[in-house]
Amino acid sequence: MSREDILRALPYARRYARALTGSQPGGDALVAEGLREMLGDVPAVDPRRALYERVTRGFDALATSRPVPSGSLSHKQRQMLLLTALEEVPVADAGPIVGLEREAAAAQLGDARERLRTAAATDVLIIEDELIIAMDIEELVRGCGHRVVGVAGNEEDAVAIARRTRPGLILADINLGRGGDGSSAVARIMLHHRAPVIFVTAYPERLLTGEALEPAFVITKPFEPMALAIATYQAVTGGVRLD
């Protein structure tokens, strides 16, 4: 495995780490430390798996002093959900990454999925210009137990709806066609109202370069319902802060 292979795996490790910690700085710090380890001793295994392992190990070392609130998902459950749904890692491979035997990993994952059904609901604003995709997302969001307070197909509508409804979560596409830019709409909303944001895009690597202020939560199109459920849970609960 070459250094170039490792660099190509970085966007995926950043997505996992940011979703796990709930922040860009916290997630990127874990990835940076793992990257330093790997470049000093380049592993022979798949680079994405190697980075996932180092991020998970670093997270565990820092999160041991962070108690899990009653009724919340455990750290291992969050890790298993994010790896299998968001990163599409098979359960058999995700278990070893988080330090669990196969049966224990499957049990943790099953329990975590059940707990998602009782997760706290919130008001969601959807920013998406493609009508059919917007309707699909709306259905998935409602299926996760959340309330949809508005669907905007352009920047101006997104800002207006956010001002009126003050959503607890924003789901935003990046490219709104003639309606503008999703990231620009979010930036304008954040001037007056703070809420967690999940960006939905077909090109996640463009948002995960580590070169500027970037989102903590990114879902790749097309996505599975479970991936959306997990991302919304992490966004609403704030992940597991390490700072």
200-213 pLDDT tens trace: 877 666 565 555 44
Residue 70 sits in the same domain as residue 171: no
Asked whether residue 243 is assigned to any structural domain, the reply reads: no
Out of 55, 81, 116, a domain closes at 116
Residue 133 sits in the same domain as residue 216: yes
Report pLDDT for 243.
53
Residue 16 sits in the same domain as residue 109: yes
Kindly state the average pLDDT of the residues 50-67.
86
Q: Which domain range does residue 155 map to?
A: 123-237
Per-residue pLDDT at 166 exceeds 90: yes
Of residues 85 and 212, more confidently modeled: 85
Q: Secondary structure of the chain in the HEC alphabet?
A: CCHHHHHHHHHHHHHHHHHHHCCHHHHHHHHHHHHHHHHHCCCCCCHHHHHHHHHHHHHHHHHCCCCCCCCCCCHHHHHHHHHHHHCCCCHHHHHHHHCCCHHHHHHHHHHHHHHHCCCCCCEEEEECCCHHHHHHHHHHHHHCCCEEEEEECCHHHHHHHHHHHCCCEEEEECECHHHCEHHHHHHHHHCCCCCCEEEEECCHHHCCCCCCCCCCEEEECCCCHHHHHHHHHHHHHCCCCCC
- Tell if the pTM clears 0.85, that is, is over it: no
Per-residue pLDDT at 45 exceeds 50: yes
- In angstroms, the Cα distances linking 61 to 40, 122, 147, 199 are 20, 31, 36, 29
Least confident among 11-25, 118-132, 228-242: 228-242
Distance (Å, whole) CA 168 – CA 176? 22
Report pLDDT for 239.
63
Asked whether residue 79 is assigned to any structural domain, the reply reads: yes
Report pLDDT for 207.
60
Residue 82 sits in the same domain as residue 127: no
Residue 10 sits in the same domain as residue 99: yes
Kindly state the average pLDDT of the residues 49-75.
83
Distance (Å, whole) CA 158 – CA 187? 11
Report pLDDT for 138.
92
Number of domain units in the chain: 2
139 close to 115: Cβ distance less than 8 angstroms: no
Residue 92 sits in the same domain as residue 46: yes
Asked whether residue 242 is assigned to any structural domain, the reply reads: no
> Among 224, 176, 222, 186, which Cα is nearest to 202's?
222
Least confident among 59-63, 84-88, 229-233: 229-233
